[in-house]
Structure 1
Amino acid sequence: MFSRAQRAKFRTKVQRCLDVFERMLAGQSFDGDESRMTGLEIELNLVDAHGQPTMRNAEVLNRIADPAFQTELGRYNIELNVPPRTWSGSQVLDLEAMLRASLDHATAMAEPADSEIVMIGILPTLRPEHFDTDWMSANPRYQALDRAVFAARRENIELDISSPGPLHGMPVERLHLYADTIAPESACTSMQLHSQVPPRRFAAHWNAAQALAGPQLALGANSPFLFGRRLWAETRIELFLQATDTRSPELANQGVRPVVFFGERWITSIFDLFEENVRWFPALLPETSDEDPAAELAAGRTPRLQELRLHNGTVYRWNRPVYDVVDGVPHVRVENRVLPAGPTVLDALANAAFYHGAVEMLAAEDRPVWTRMSFDAATANFVEGARVGVDATFYWPGFGQVPWDELVLRHLLPLADQGLARRGVDQVVRDRYLGVIRERCLTRRNGARWQTSTVAALEREGATRDEALAEMLHRYARHMHTNDPVHSWPTAD
């Protein structure tokens, strides 16, 4: 628990960090001009032989015994953190081999704990009653976050999500319930892409990532089911917003901004985002350090700006700004949080290749897309991609209203190829990963579409919804381990 005095002290300290960060941006040397390092995090689910979540991440992590694997919010979640690297030459092929080997090892280690690892956006067999048990990982920070959210909200969280329309013969479905913990947030398992950039180029890369978010979701949606209901193609987007909402309904009606935040405008500097975070969002975890950031900077050392970083970590932008220090050298990066986990390692890296290549070129255009498109249009594209996935239509300058697959095939995919070539990625590598994106467009099949069509087919054969979800997940896990891309999986389409 935090006292009023602690909160006041934190507010003062985080403002001091912000002032020092502004001075650093004006005159400090940052890493990122040449290294072009990228990082990757993948959140994973643990299930038993029946496809039900198993609350055993501590035991599984002990067996894996690899610091790259960490706890996540739920005891049925773990996370794989991939060390940063460049994407030049054929290094992505090495990354694919490493990820597959790591997941194979983790899977083997999880088996004696009666657990299987599944890489999926939302575990479709998860039910509210699973949170009646001891669901939260044993980390005091998670408990503090849970208390902070409800202290700010002062009432239970309301989840209210409806599917956008009938699909595969399934009617419109609605989920409406109340939660007295942040447990539903743990259902959101994602892939996070980190891109290190020089501060002077940050705004261009962040704006490009924001513009690309809608097409990313149409391509990669993989979360159509929650608590037994078919909802959005990428339900994780709306679930994360509602499950961590610190606002009462009255504050939301007043226009108070949620901590899960797409944004409101294009930016001109990374400072814009940190300043907005400090100005608009109360601290959830107001812990202060002993560092005097101004004194550290005056002494020629790099301040860690711990309070600014901690506060920034509790504002969940879909493209988040990150400040970090490695070996005494500061850098900034864009953390892209749009994509769900899965379906396969190949699919995940294809999504990453498309993102890195397209952002590279969109950020370098003489007349960039964000000077020709309103931010509201980018926001509408983001929501459209999350709601309907492969049925999405976007606004894009020069195209007007255009189906997502046409936009990708005619414009964004060639840009991604050029961008990866500009970063020195070999042709054979570009062909492998962008070829997956091309086929996904041609078949109009992503993880969400495969899941919904499979469940619909099983229900037509007489299965109940619970039986269909469990069988679909069993097939999903089997295909996941083959590493065949999801567009090639057998479906009922």
Structure 2
Amino acid sequence: MGEEVDRVEFTRADRTAFRDQVHRNLDAFARMLREARFDAERPMTGIEIELNLVDENCDPAFKNAEVLSAIEDDAFQTELGQFNVEINVPPGQIDGDGLQTMEQSIRASLNAAEEKAQRTGSSMVVVGILPTLMTDHIRREALSTNPRYALLNDQIFQARGEDVQISIDGVERLQVTADSIVPEAACTSTQFHLQVTPEAFPRYWNAAQAISGVQLAVGANSPFLFGKELMRETRIELFEQAADTRTHELKTQGVRPRVWFGERWITSIFDLFEENSRYYPALLPVTSEEDPIAVLDRGDTPELAELRLHNGTIYRWNRPVYDVVREKPHLRVENRVLPAGPTVVDTMANGAFYFGLVRALADDERPIWSQMSFSAAEENFHVAARQGIDAEVFWPGVGTVRATELVLRRLLPLASRGLDGWGVAPAVRDRLLGIIEQRCLTHRNGASWQADEFHRLYTKGSHGRRDALRGMLSRYRDHMHANTPVHEWPVD
């Protein structure tokens, strides 16, 4: 959820000071870009995976503080809801067996954490939206106890001036009113981080935007919300609505949302941070004592705390990240498109597909973004969120085509070439991309499996709707812990 804060109230002077400091941060950042002050070592990747906690009935377990105390592992942290935790995977190399090593590390961490969580009467589930989460679970008291979440809640609702109206049309229709940001906690995602140089950043960000729709099509895993079957990746629409600070009138005026796809291809990472400053008022206007220009003048690296804090309250699906590690600044593309799950091996397959494809497209002499309008990429994104594995998307030179066909014919070979460019071991490459291939051939991903299994239990069995969701999630959890790729999961 971004940088920590310890303030609970803000004045007009605080907001003015924060805006001024963000602009000073931007000046320092521009100078750093000109002076090439960034870490340019071998590219690193990191992964964040948000998890849900459930009880013995597969209903939400509001025990993240208790679970984290039992786990005693700094890699696991709180998230927005008391039924959420997050695992932060240490940065690692992509090349060689790096992705396989990362998979083994994540699996080992989750196994150890699950064993300890069970002592609290809880179990972990890696899924985009917890299917058994209901409207009676989204009360304000469900927020995690970290003061940051209550503060963020209050600031968003102060900006809105009214309750959140969530309206989603899918297989079924949902309309819900909420007086807190707890519905946002329903959105659990996987975030892939890729360190790149300042020169390469715009190519990688543009490539990530271009493939976001295809990522969703093959990786969708959020078909249910509050007991309703909605979109195949309902998480996209839910997050866009739940974190929206705009009133109806501001939406009508075309004011940009805080969760957004973007509006144009970029030529510099500076474009994105400058947009943050130009379009978005501060939610958490906490200023530091740092003078970033003075820090640069003495040859040190500024933290740019205000720039980073502000960036953390603007939820781009592909977000720019400035960070400092061991006094060295670096830049990352944070890919926030995909839901969590269904398994660790599926997550790593999604990662391999993403890392390989963005590398191939970023290296292409004729960039995909020079052949494709930004609006087409955004349309692909929302179509894929709605239709998942059955989505039809636009691709230059092909036209409108089934996403699965596009992946099989065009994108898997590109991803394979990109992984070769990273130096990924062929056996690791083939195993992980083979999972994506099989999803496309079987037309089975997490969302389609959940829907099929739910309908089997609900329409062909003796289960009521809520019990069918519990039964489906219980089977999902078993397959998840077995780490069997979702395309192999049976619908009994």
Which residue in the other structure is 1:454 paired with? 453
**Residues 139 and 180 of structure 2 are in contact (CA less than 8 Å); yes or no, is this contact kept in structure 1?**
no
For 1:106 and 1:135, the matched residues in 2 are separated by: 22
Which residue in the other structure is 1:469 paired with? 469
**Residues 92 and 102 of structure 2 are in contact (CA less than 8 Å); yes or no, is this contact kept in structure 1?**
no
For residues 237-248 of structure 1, what are the structure 2 equivalents within 5 Å? 237-248=236-247
State the 1:160 CA deviation.
0.1
For 1:318 and 1:418, the matched residues in 2 are separated by: 25
For residues 259-274 of structure 1, what are the structure 2 equivalents within 5 Å? 259-274=258-273
Per-residue CA distance 1:222-272 (angstroms, 9 max, x = gap): 000000000110000000000010000110111100000100000000000
State the 1:133 CA deviation.
6.9
Which residue in the other structure is 1:357 paired with? 356
Question: CA 1:203 to 1:133, structure 2 compared with 1: closer, same or farther past 3 Å?
Answer: closer
**Residues 140 and 182 of structure 2 are in contact (CA less than 8 Å); yes or no, is this contact kept in structure 1?**
no
RMSD value over aligned CA atoms?
0.8
Residue of structure 2 aligned with 1:22, choices 25, 30, 33: 30
For 2:15 and 2:136, the matched residues in 1 are separated by: 35
SS state at 2:394 partner? strand
Please report the TM-score for the alignment, with normalisation by the length of structure 2: 0.97
For 1:142 and 1:279, the matched residues in 2 are separated by: 25
Indicate whether 1:43 and 2:18 are aligned: no
Indicate whether 1:66 and 2:65 are aligned: no
SS state at 1:199 partner? coil
Which residue in the other structure is 2:173 paired with? 174
* Identity of matched residues, %: 58
For 1:52 and 1:75, the matched residues in 2 are separated by: 13
For 1:188 and 1:131, the matched residues in 2 are separated by: 12
For 2:410 and 2:235, the matched residues in 1 are separated by: 27
For residues 393-472 of structure 1, what are the structure 2 equivalents within 5 Å? 393-460=392-459, 461-472=461-472
State the 1:177 CA deviation.
1.2
Number of aligned residue pairs:
483
**Residues 140 and 179 of structure 2 are in contact (CA less than 8 Å); yes or no, is this contact kept in structure 1?**
no
Which residue in the other structure is 1:168 paired with? none
Indicate whether 1:75 and 2:82 are aligned: yes
Indicate whether 1:122 and 2:142 are aligned: no
For 1:290 and 1:477, the matched residues in 2 are separated by: 47
Per-residue CA distance 1:119-148 (angstroms, 9 max, x = gap): 000000001111337311111111110011
State the 1:28 CA deviation.
3.3
Question: CA 1:289 to 1:216, structure 2 compared with 1: closer, same or farther past 3 Å?
Answer: same
Per-residue CA distance 1:134-190 (angstroms, 9 max, x = gap): 311111111110011001000000000010xxxxxxxx4111011000000000000
For 1:282 and 1:97, the matched residues in 2 are separated by: 42
For 1:372 and 1:92, the matched residues in 2 are separated by: 31
Indicate whether 1:154 and 2:161 are aligned: yes
Structure 2 counterpart of 1:485, one-letter code? P
State the 1:8 CA deviation.
0.6
Structure 2 counterpart of 1:409, one-letter code? L
**Residues 353 and 412 of structure 2 are in contact (CA less than 8 Å); yes or no, is this contact kept in structure 1?**
yes
For 1:133 and 1:357, the matched residues in 2 are separated by: 41
**Residues 139 and 182 of structure 2 are in contact (CA less than 8 Å); yes or no, is this contact kept in structure 1?**
no
**Residues 345 and 485 of structure 2 are in contact (CA less than 8 Å); yes or no, is this contact kept in structure 1?**
yes
State the 1:463 CA deviation.
1.8
Per-residue CA distance 1:68-117 (angstroms, 9 max, x = gap): 00000001100000010111111222111111111110110001100000
Q: Which runs of 4+ in 1 moved over 4 A?
A: none
Residue of structure 1 aligned with 2:105, choices 98, 110, 114: 98
For 1:11 and 1:29, the matched residues in 2 are separated by: 25
For residues 6-405 of structure 1, what are the structure 2 equivalents within 5 Å? 6-31=14-39, 33-132=40-139, 134-163=141-170, 172-405=171-404
For 1:267 and 1:91, the matched residues in 2 are separated by: 30
